[in-house]
Amino acid sequence: MEETQGAQESKCPVTRFMKKLEGFFNLRKVLDGFELLLPIFFIIGVLIVAYFALKLLEFSFYLALISFAQGMIGLFVSFWLMYVLIDIRDGKKHR
């Protein structure tokens, strides 16, 4: 039964295509590399949002800067701690 199932799977073009991609493109390594870049992307996003928020709130520049920075730092620290302490995919401790 397993031999016939294997023969049927090899006839399926999608399965053959995925098998070819499996050796060429290791998605797990790409995702692990992307996880290391997440804090950098987050900081860049915060800077972009902060720039536009401060452009809109020029009349209370310092108040907006302090409150926005406090909120973004708290958000970044909480996400970073969640990333370090818990591996979300597996539910296991990170390293």
Who's near 50: CB < 8 A, 6+ residues apart? Answer: 65, 68, 69, 72
**Residue in the block written with tokens 């397993």:** 2
Span 20-71, pLDDT tens digits? 666 655 656 665 666 667 777 778 878 887 777 777 767 677 777 777 788 8
How confident is the model over 11-20, as a mean pLDDT?
70
What are the domain boundaries of the chain?
Answer: 26-93
d(CA 16, CA 11): 7
| Single pTM value for the model | 0.33
